[in-house]
Chains A and B, each alone.
Chain A
Amino acid sequence: MSHRPYGHVLIRRPRFSFLVHRRSAVVASVLAVLLAAVFLLGLCVGVRFIPPGDVLRVLFGADESIVVETLRLPRTTVGLLVGLAFGIAGALIQTVARNPLASPDVIGVSHGAAAAVVFGLVFGFGGPTATPLTAIAGGSVAAFLVYVLAWRRGLNAQRFVLIGVGISVALAAVTNLLLTKADITLAQQAKVWMSGSLNGRGWSQGEPLTWVLLALVPAIVWAARAARSAGFDDDTAIALGVRLGRIRLGLVVVGVLLASVATGAAGPVDFVALVAPQVARRLARTPQVPLVCSALLGALIVVSADIGARMLISNAELPVGVLTAAVGGPYLLWMLTRSRAGGAS
């Protein structure tokens, strides 16, 4: 009888050995295939339908299409990257908070970003390049504040969530105050950003997002393994030789960076970071959130929701965040009432 961890396949060479969770690997493969299909569909649909065959020819350089190359490809790519980032960010933050209801909005990232962006728009430094930067700054500062305030001889998961909620509420009040003071067109502009939208997103958002994601790949790879230990209490983790304080800080920093960058690119796309990790975990049936599955699922949700946002009403476009919230909210409720493990923290 084998005693290696349950449900894992051992990949072994003389210099290294890896344990791969079998079901997670299968789920990740299926999600990757689905994601590729939805991504292609995202390039096909719009005001004018372009058949997948034509789109593929454009992608492989055999043909040209301005609609695909300059409009749909950048937009769908941004959607994909934003989804990946939110999927990972949500997984990491939920792991640290030990709470399936924690997400970047709970720990202040989204509200911090929103407050900063609205502040920027109202005081005249909003714009295609300034908005993502102010969002990143606002999100990171808010999350830093929450982390520091929740720190009392170590990070207490419960304080972390409660203080995050408190700071978020305060920031939302600031945002509303700014909006009521603001000029009506600016307020309108800010509202659209705040509901999360991929409309008009292109390479100017996609490029910085790509670089940040690439730069964070080593950190994400580290996080995927380190997150295993975050489920223990502090004493047990130290007993096993794990520096849980450092791991928590590292996971939060990576999560906050990803969430702020994604928020900067597309606005706070609601519920993706909240739902993707939990659904991924249920699909893969793992004790901790499977990072790769969560990332792929996040991307799948955002790209699909964006297609829906473009298709649902003719002649107008819904912000993608409205769609993710409309679908994600009820789904989460259903999941939590239905599942035994969902409510535990």
Chain B
Amino acid sequence: MTTHRLAARDLTLGYEDRIVVRDLDLEVPAGRVTVVVGPNACGKSTLLRSLGRLLKPVSGSVLLDGAALRDLPTREIARRIGVLPQSPVPPEGITVADLVARGRQPYQRWWQQWSDEDEDVVADAMRRTDVVELADRYVDELSGGQRQRVWIAMALAQGTGILLLDEPTTFLDIAHQVEVLDLVRELNVTRERTVVAVLHDLNQACRYADHLIAMRDGSIVAQGAPAEIVTADLVRDVFGLACVVIPCPVTGAPMVVPGQPREAG
């Protein structure tokens, strides 16, 4: 898999007349898992959406291998960047195998609807995400964890070097959260895939990120390896939370434990 470079230059983002992110510069480390964290409404999802051209910048640009996204055909981008939005909607009544196969859309034409490569890549994506047994089930009837695996399979079938995930663990219980994040980690290790994910849970972010980006009010406050940047001061600064940071007993990654709970009564 060829590695692609994704970067942002002077990026200003917003909706209607509200600016959410201002003059942001970013270099996404190639072949690494980057996790973006920050309080609600800090602009982390907005940033991810613009990296995946789901949102047009107000000014500045997102560069893919040096070319601005706005100058590239969306289909061409779809062969290099896969995006899993926060709450994707499947076509009604679609089966798992069909949905995963839709990931091949960027490679298909009206007269080229299915190739051997399509078949191989879809089979591989389904195997890696462990959804082969679900192939003939309807997506509507799956549990949250299964459905999320299917969406990831579709994004994998796109065969892109870059994968952007917007809160992929929301609505999942802790076992499924770990399962999904382990999968993401594994995709990166074995495939040298570049992953950028927005996560809510700071401890999960520390556990899975090679590169952590902490955002507040639309700007990057700190970035780097979790072990190097996550301190009680940073958490207070970014989230306004008093806490203690200790090494995780399992991975050794920084673990954030909030301060004394308020007394009952």
Contacts and interface: CB of A to CB of B under 8 A. Distances in A.
Interface of A: 1-6, 10, 12, 15-19, 98, 222, 225, 228-236, 238-243, 286-288, 341, 344-345
Given A232-B90, A241-B106, A341-B92, A4 B83 contact: no
B136 interface: yes
Given A17-B115, A236-B89, A6 B77 contact: no
A2 B101 CA distance: 12
Interface residues of B, number: 48
B105 A229 contact: yes
A10 B118 CA distance: 12
Given A3-B97, A233-B89, A344-B92, A241 B126 contact: no
A234 B89 CA distance: 9
Interface string B77-107: 1110011110111111111011011110110
Interface string B140-183: 00000000000000010010000000000000000000000000
A232 B114 contact: no
A19 B114 contact: yes
Nearest to B74: A241
Nearest to B89: A233
Interface in B232-258: none
Contact of B91 (A4, A12, A19, A287): A287
Nearest to B118: A4
Contacts of B79: 241
A323 B83 CA distance: 49
A341 to B, nearest CB: 6
A229 to B, nearest CB: 7
A228 B101 CA distance: 12
A239 B166 CA distance: 12
A131 to B, nearest CB: 37
A228 B113 contact: no
Contact of A17 (B76, B78, B112): B112
Interface string B98-141: 10111101100011111100110011001000001001100000
A6 B91 contact: no
A236 to B, nearest CB: 4
A1 B93 CA distance: 22
B32 interface: no
Given A235-B49, A240-B103, 14 more contacts: A3-B122, A3-B123, A4-B118, A12-B114, A17-B111, A17-B115, A18-B114, A232-B88, A238-B53, A240-B102, A241-B77, A241-B78, A241-B105, A287-B98
A72 B184 CA distance: 66
A222 B110 CA distance: 8
B54 interface: yes
A320 B89 CA distance: 39
B57 to A, nearest CB: 15
B132 A1 contact: yes
A238 B51 CA distance: 12
A238 B97 CA distance: 20
- In order of increasing CB-CB distance, the 5 nearest A-B pairs are A231-B91, A241-B78, A241-B75, A235-B85, A233-B89
B106 A287 contact: no
A6 B84 CA distance: 23
Contacts of B111: 15-18
